[in-house]
Structure 1
Amino acid sequence: MPRILRFLRRPFVVDLRALALLRIGVAAVVLLDVAIRSTDLEAHYSNLGVLPLHVLYQYCWNPYQFSLHAASGLWQAQAVLFLLEAAGAVALLVGYHTRLATFVTWLLLVSVQNRNPLIGQGGDDLLRMLLFWALFLPWGRLYSVDARGRERPARLTYFSAATVAYIVQIALVYWCTALLKSAPEWTTEGTALYYALSLDQVLLPGGRLLYPYPGLLHWLTFATYYTELLLPFVLFIPFRVTWWRLFFVGVMYLFHLGISLTLFVGLFFLINMASVLGLLPPVVLDWLDKRLARGRQRLGPRVAARLARVRPHLARLRLPVRLRLEPGFQLTDSRRALLRHLRNAAVTVLLGYVLWWNLDSVNQPSLYMSQPLRWFGYLFRVDQHWGMFAPAVFKDDGWYILDGTTRQGQHLDLNRQGQPTTYAKPASVVALFKNDRWRKYSENYLFVSNEYMRPYYCNYLLRIWHEDPTHPPLRRLEVIYMKEVSLPDYQVSVPKRELLCGCEPQP
């Protein structure tokens, strides 16, 4: 290979051990996502919840999408699919039949995301894309069950079109979100973080500590904007790659740790932290290998003894299907090379499509990709939009009051476990949300374009309230939003009561 080509491809060479850590990190996040989603099987994924199937198909469905979770409106069917996704993620975590586990996990993740788009956030797109590109990566070659009994690779470095796609995808996340932040509060005024921390719906204790300092928030706004816009360029510098990789990963970890301490963003920060594990350079992984070797020396005998007890049971769980080649068909070196070239060609085309999609997303109105060309993105869910707090920070802050009226005329707030209704602002608005999925749902609930969803939420709340015999019966429930618009310069607006929906028990 010419020296210039070796030089240019250096930024896209990754360590197989780093890919294994990426696999473990992504699988762990998927398991956490499954655990959180499973607490709302009925509410978010069944016909008894806030988005029945007929409403999904009428208002939120794209004809090119698919969802196994949309095959049934029963929460029991959803539970089975959630268990299958968890099993796939566990297999992915330990590297058991890694390629198949990756496909199953990706398939079921796409399926559950398509089932309820009203609770999705930007991190979901990244998690989905990491699994998609991993279908073409050897991230089960090390630190896996699949690697047991196989010789350690002579070379730990790896390069292919898939590693290029993986690194470009990470850069696209930050480039696109910066380019979409076109409002003056990001580009010239430096007030975006002030407005972000003015949102009580997402404000965490760390944000409260920063909020009183406008000068610091002004500086942090520009630091955030230019970090997203400029930092990804270091991933493509073909010299001192180790140093630039360490710099990028370190800054990203500090960046997302800061977000997690100040803003309630669900799994977004964990997904982003897991996404950069594949960039770790050999110097870090050599250090990690030494620590793991010491751990194996101490714990090896104990683990071996316990494995000996369970190995007969594990043997029964082995998949019976094996790929058997016909006697006349052998994977010769030339055939392997051909398959590798075909795979790289396919990934290159896919990456070109993803680049095209992102280029189109940062241009409004759309200039490049026509609607007939989007079917592929919707079908395989490589569609993506990185508009976090873009083009401007949401200003319509406030909190919900679920005002239930009893038959005796008392007013109870279902959002506060049936305490007497009060219009006073709660000490912590974030504490009113069960998890970030509900926070995102409540955000979408406000939009006039989503007015169709309001009665289903109201009736769902009434039903689950009356399922508890200790609760007093209600004759009416009103979903009220106390709108408190974020104003500049620490001005405080007067909350305005907005009735979003009212419903009564079915006779």
Structure 2
Amino acid sequence: MALMRIGVGFVLLVDLAIRASDLEAFYSNMGVLPLHVLFKYVWDPYLISIHTLSGLWQIQALLFLIAAFFAFCLLLGYRTRLVTIVCWFMLLSLQNRNTLIGQGGDDLLRMLLFWAIFLPWGRHYSLDAKKSTAYPKPVSHFSAASAGFVIQIMLVYICTALLKDSPEWHTTGTALYNALSLDQVLFPGGKLIYPYPVLLKYLTLGTYYTEFYLPFLLLIPVFNSFFRLVVVGVLAGFHLGISLTLFVGLFYLINWVSILGLLPPVAMDWFEAKLLPYFENLGYRLRRYTANVPKLFELRFTWHLSPARWEALSAIKEGFVIAVLGYVIWWNLSNVPQINHPIPVAARWLGMLLRVDQHWGMFAPQVFKDDGWYILEGLTTKNKRIDLNRQGQPVTEKKPKSVVALFKNDRWRKYSENYLFVNNAFMRPYFCNYRLRIWNESHAPADQIKELQVVYMLERTLPNYQPIIPQRQVLCVCGTP
């Protein structure tokens, strides 16, 4: 759990750094989702977000710095319980500000922090542990939250398999062929295996049955350490394969971090014997440099409660966690087609309030067949047609060598995916005007554009490597006054 805490702190910092590069675009009123548009089209009344208090990018930058500070404290294990609560709330708030760029990894990261609020993941490898007088510190822990964490990991994989309710996943085995036909997410590793249909078929079937059956190994009571190592090893390799073949942002990294919490005692004994000594000097230096840092949020509470009242509070906490765990299981099972009984609208408020809502539909129920690439066709004041997506080069409908390279990061890729859906048509004019404004602000008057067309070159994936003729679709047109 301590290793997972360090990993989560690191991922939070990386995620904030990536998001901060698009501070104005995704989180301010000058970007693609102003607050009034968010509240009109996307918002749920039970969502909470302090990031919606202002549309100024400067306020957003301040909130990003606050979140980064607490994420760093989490990594170090300083005031871990308090910091975990703050990190969870800041992440929840940030994700609620723009749900159009979210993906499954965001849901998992949010849930890891939620369960960790009730777990002692600051007990080891932390500044808190160095200040603790308890010795020896317990190395095992069992509670409703620890059960919730393990069940959460199981739900991620079992539910994504159940949601893949299509013959291409468990019968014909063509799902991975279809996934690697999507140039928007195709990485070099995917290009290497794409020409081999038999290999893709067996990899597809292997993916489906691994996701469905592997998590149940965690429940085997005998030789539990061995089976946990099997689960961790297989999932680590599984997500390594995903990271080499598909453009999925931080999804694979978040999943790697999540399985650290499943490592059995034998693995941690090896870690402490072989690797931990290399970090001791670094830890000593860190403690020396931070010894005189002002205690910015040194909060101390003195509770004068009898043992009976402590037990009562503990029972209330366990009861709350058990209730949320039951709700999470209910939410997940209500999504799968085998049950086909959506959670009632009247019961959804808790999921949205705590953001324990989740849907693990990665390439489910089947892989998208609509692929393509964007052309941002700008008409200059000199009546030249240039492509803003290709740094102002002349417009061409020839397919780029790398469609992935057109996206700044996975947040923009996800945004562009949502941009295509008819029910998200409200997004289109705001994106169009944003790109037009950004271009004109950063270029000389001679290179200004007076009209911008957002064009999508649609390619529908066909079976058996059949050639595809792209179809030009104009999604939006905007211009200067």
Name the SS of the counterpart of 2:158 in structure 1: helix
Question: Which of 43, 47, 61 is residue 65 of structure 1 equivalent to?
Answer: 47
Deviations 1:150-185 (A, max 9, x none): 234453111111110000000000011000001111
Distance 1:486 1:156, change over 3 A: same
1:48 and 2:30 matched: yes
1:469 positional shift = 3.3
Question: Which of 72, 93, 116 is residue 98 of structure 2 equivalent to?
Answer: 116
1:323 and 2:301 matched: yes
Name the SS of the counterpart of 2:464 in structure 1: coil
1:74 and 2:61 matched: no
1:29 and 2:11 matched: yes
**Counterpart of 2:166?**
183
1:148 positional shift = 1.0
1:308 positional shift = 4.2
**Counterpart of 1:13?**
none
**Counterpart of 2:351?**
377
Deviations 1:49-73 (A, max 9, x none): 0001000000000011111111110
Question: Which of 404, 423, 429 is residue 455 of structure 1 equivalent to?
Answer: 429
**Counterpart of 2:271?**
288
Q: How does 1:64-463 map to 2 (within 5 A)?
A: 64-150=46-132, 151-295=134-278, 299=281, 304=284, 307-308=287-288, 311-312=291-292, 314=293, 316-325=294-303, 329-332=304-307, 334-363=308-337, 366-367=340-341, 369-463=343-437
Measure, in 2, the Cα distance between the counterparts of 1:308 and 1:104: 26
1:490 and 2:465 matched: yes
Deviations 1:182-219 (A, max 9, x none): 11111211000000000000000000000000000000
The letter of the residue matching 1:393 is V
Distance 1:234 1:477, change over 3 A: same
1:346 positional shift = 1.4
RMSD value, Cα: 1.6
Q: Is the 8 A contact 2:335 2:341 kept in 1?
A: no
Measure, in 1, the Cα distance between the counterparts of 2:276 and 2:170: 49
Name the SS of the counterpart of 1:499 in structure 2: strand
Measure, in 2, the Cα distance between the counterparts of 1:305 and 1:233: 43
Measure, in 1, the Cα distance between the counterparts of 2:402 and 2:178: 17
In the alignment, structure 2 segments of 5+ residues that lack a partner are none
Name the SS of the counterpart of 1:424 in structure 2: coil
Measure, in 2, the Cα distance between the counterparts of 1:432 and 1:158: 47
**Counterpart of 1:479?**
454
Distance 1:165 1:310, change over 3 A: closer
1:322 positional shift = 1.2
Identity of aligned residues (%): 58
Distance 1:293 1:266, change over 3 A: closer
Measure, in 1, the Cα distance between the counterparts of 2:381 and 2:39: 36
Measure, in 1, the Cα distance between the counterparts of 2:405 and 2:181: 16
Measure, in 1, the Cα distance between the counterparts of 2:123 and 2:322: 22
Q: Is the 8 A contact 2:164 2:364 kept in 1?
A: yes
- Deviant stretches of 4+, over 4 Å: 303-310
Query: Which sits farther off after the overlay, 24-33 or 286-295?
Result: 286-295
Measure, in 2, the Cα distance between the counterparts of 1:392 and 1:486: 13
1:260 positional shift = 0.2
Measure, in 1, the Cα distance between the counterparts of 2:113 and 2:361: 21
The letter of the residue matching 2:249 is G
Name the SS of the counterpart of 1:158 in structure 2: coil
The letter of the residue matching 2:465 is Y
Name the SS of the counterpart of 2:457 in structure 1: strand
Task: Give the TM-score taking structure 1 as reference length.
Answer: 0.92
Measure, in 1, the Cα distance between the counterparts of 2:382 and 2:342: 61
**Counterpart of 1:16?**
none
Distance 1:365 1:465, change over 3 A: farther
The letter of the residue matching 2:183 is D
